[in-house]
Structure 1
């Protein structure tokens, strides 16, 4: 019987022993499906579908550390993927890569037993996965039929089960969409919908691909109003789902967000316990603030100082989004005034210059420019005392883009207008820098 090297300590096993020892996990039958003709199944396809599972070490090529598809054995008894060992030889090596022994024979012997084991093992796993997928798709269709008939607690429980399988199975998402699931679940959202039903429905919809018709339906004022209510009264997970769904709905759409929506989003952004919620909230705020006519709404509920105070706590991705929003708001007179009146604005922005990405520096400079232009004497003096001039010189001397350098030069000139050259240099402690 053909043999193969199964373990790193050199023990050789045959097919019967491999099955007995559990490498294959028992009989070559999977969930009622006989896999005798496993060679007919495409091994590469199966490996790609099963790339997240733990593969027995005996199936792994020692060179590439990937599952073997065409295993061959050297005279030393070590087995490798054919293409990998051929490449090893082409580089001028005539040794065994694992043992570094000199080869007395460079022939490659196809390891048919191991090849059969690999095909069989992957076939078992693949067919189990496929059957589970088919079973769960069937269950999703049953649940959608149930949703058409039930109400109250039964509806909530049905939605919960559907949410769980939608969130964990890509094939179910397509099945739900292809069988009218988006329309069905959207129909459950309305003025009389309980928050329990609304939370579960939103959690499902956020995982589905929505076409333009579905988005148009979900943008109906009564449905948006329910989402806002759920956002303000739901758990942290529900709040995140609401914001993610509204990001999809509002992107590219003309919207008139209510103040209660903005309050809920800012509440999520301020909750440092949930980083994913902060990111989701800022992404939605970016969409809302991009429609400049809506900026005053964010300003009116105190959004500017809230975002400014959070700047030091944001990661780089969140920081860029927050600065984008603040830059848009700074172009509105009321926004620039709110930024000026917040004591933390100038110190926080100065600290960020040249600390993160060029985009962050550019946004920060634009905001500082609007503030200092609004109140040159007061704000420029505060900025100078906070060390802005030294940071601006650093930007000018750096390798950043020309636009940033130009804006830095303009801001430096604006800050110096109320000082003589000597006093300005002295105040900014720039003597050593200039030298």
Structure 2
């Protein structure tokens, strides 16, 4: 059970409420005067709709404001959650009623915070603190609700503006709408009032990159229905996205990539619709931009999805994707690395892909280093690619693999707790690697001592 540690440092909110440590109200009159208790702005926890006054439910408010920073005096020392029904013990410490009753039910006869033995086990409702908590949360909730309504009104206003303006005025309106949509409270307003169709209609063969960039930045953050997806996979719109993927800012490139991936997941868009050479070249450029990890991840995710089709795999091999990916493998984080290995494994299913992997001098060293280092999934993918390469040219590649330490790594895989299929593939690859060596020489090549160290 978590124990509350009183802090000597008072929060700014505590000072504003006139509250000190230990749950004591220092100046209730000041709190009332400042509007924290009744009277002062915020309606005292009352909300008016259509002439009807409705009292807010504290439990629902607290759940709605779960991410807000709460004054420490409102926090139960046992659960470290805001109190809804505060009660005070004879020691002067205040707790949530249900939490302190549970503490007593476990046989404790002490105060959880001070560990003093209780001379009186009665609990007294702390009505003043309850009213403070209720009023504080109510005002925060009403302020949030008002901001939300203001944002939704602004979104509707901008949608109306976009129907009327052109040129730089349209770009400014899109910029403003993009900022508004970043607030979750406005997304549904835009979606429910024809915003997706309106913004999609702005994309076409004559759309400027300034307009296109802002429009894509909005669309990528909205939920697209089937009709919107069908509209966006039109050749002219896809062509614009591909152009901006190759020529736009990094932020625009990432948004293009994410939107195309979203469209690809729909029923109305096949890989043949979007898999142009220009798109693949743009994705490879994005993946090689080391400074922008979000771009690398987005690019690899889309590349993996596109590799499900053989024509795409052939195109990737033809534009030199394999050596480019092999060279930057060591720079990837685990998530990106697994995606890149999926892509390379897909390309190794082609004869041209296997030749390209064999001809790349760093294929075997870089893949051997990954075995038993990142995850079982990465080990399995790396082994699959290594098998394809070594099987293609056993005499040339097997010896290179052994010199890179593959045999020792395979022995570790076989002796590990990996799945049986992975162990079987390791045993087969180990046998293939040993064909060009005598038993004594092969054992010496395994470098077991160094591997164990």
- Shared fold, TM over 0.5: yes
**What's the CA shift for 1:23?**
9.2
**What's the CA shift for 1:39?**
8.7
Match of 2:303 among 265, 274, 285: 285
3-state SS of paired residue (2:87): strand
Aligned residue number for residue 308 of structure 1 = 326
Deviations 1:10-39 (A, max 9, x none): 75425323345x693996323xx5635799
Aligned residue number for residue 243 of structure 1 = 257
Question: Tell me, which stretches of 5 or more residues in structure 2 are unaligned?
Answer: 1-16, 48-52
Match of 2:21 among 4, 8, 11: 8
Match of 1:28 among 26, 40, 49: 40
- Quote the Cα distance in structure 2 between the aligned partners of 1:433 and 1:347: 15
Match of 1:212 among 226, 231, 246: 226
- Quote the Cα distance in structure 2 between the aligned partners of 1:164 and 1:23: 32
CA contact (8 A) 1:336 1:374 kept: yes
Aligned residue number for residue 53 of structure 1 = 68
Aligned residue number for residue 318 of structure 1 = 336
**What's the CA shift for 1:44?**
2.0
- Quote the Cα distance in structure 2 between the aligned partners of 1:251 and 1:432: 47
Aligned residue number for residue 348 of structure 2 = 330
After superposition, the Cα gap between the structure-2 partners of 1:17 and 1:152, relative to the gap in structure 1 and judged at 3 Å, is same
Match of 1:125 among 107, 125, 140: 140
Name the stretch that deviates more: 169-178 or 414-423: 414-423
**What's the CA shift for 1:391?**
0.3
Aligned residue number for residue 108 of structure 2 = 93
After superposition, the Cα gap between the structure-2 partners of 1:45 and 1:380, relative to the gap in structure 1 and judged at 3 Å, is same
3-state SS of paired residue (1:331): coil
- Quote the Cα distance in structure 2 between the aligned partners of 1:12 and 1:226: 62
Match of 1:144 among 139, 142, 159: 159
CA contact (8 A) 1:189 1:223 kept: yes
**What's the CA shift for 1:428?**
2.6
CA RMSD of aligned residues (A): 2.2
- Quote the Cα distance in structure 2 between the aligned partners of 1:308 and 1:48: 49
- Quote the Cα distance in structure 1 between the aligned partners of 2:381 and 2:297: 18
Name the stretch that deviates more: 340-349 or 150-159: 340-349
**What's the CA shift for 1:229?**
0.9
**What's the CA shift for 1:90?**
1.5
Name the stretch that deviates more: 248-257 or 87-96: 248-257
After superposition, the Cα gap between the structure-2 partners of 1:323 and 1:23, relative to the gap in structure 1 and judged at 3 Å, is farther
Name the stretch that deviates more: 260-269 or 196-205: 260-269
- Quote the Cα distance in structure 1 between the aligned partners of 2:105 and 2:246: 65
1:36-435 mapped onto 2 (5 Å cutoff): 36=46, 40-167=55-182, 169-251=183-265, 253-256=269-272, 257-430=275-448
CA contact (8 A) 1:185 1:205 kept: yes
Normalising to structure 2: TM-score of the pair? 0.90
3-state SS of paired residue (1:64): coil
Question: Tell me, which stretches of 5 or more residues in structure 1 are unaligned?
Answer: none
- Quote the Cα distance in structure 2 between the aligned partners of 1:12 and 1:34: 19
**What's the CA shift for 1:170?**
1.6
3-state SS of paired residue (1:13): coil
**What's the CA shift for 1:272?**
1.2
- Quote the Cα distance in structure 2 between the aligned partners of 1:9 and 1:246: 55
CA contact (8 A) 2:37 2:132 kept: no
CA contact (8 A) 2:88 2:123 kept: yes
Normalising to structure 1: TM-score of the pair? 0.93
3-state SS of paired residue (1:80): strand
**What's the CA shift for 1:40?**
2.2
Deviations 1:309-331 (A, max 9, x none): 11111111111111111100111
How many pairs were matched up? Answer: 427
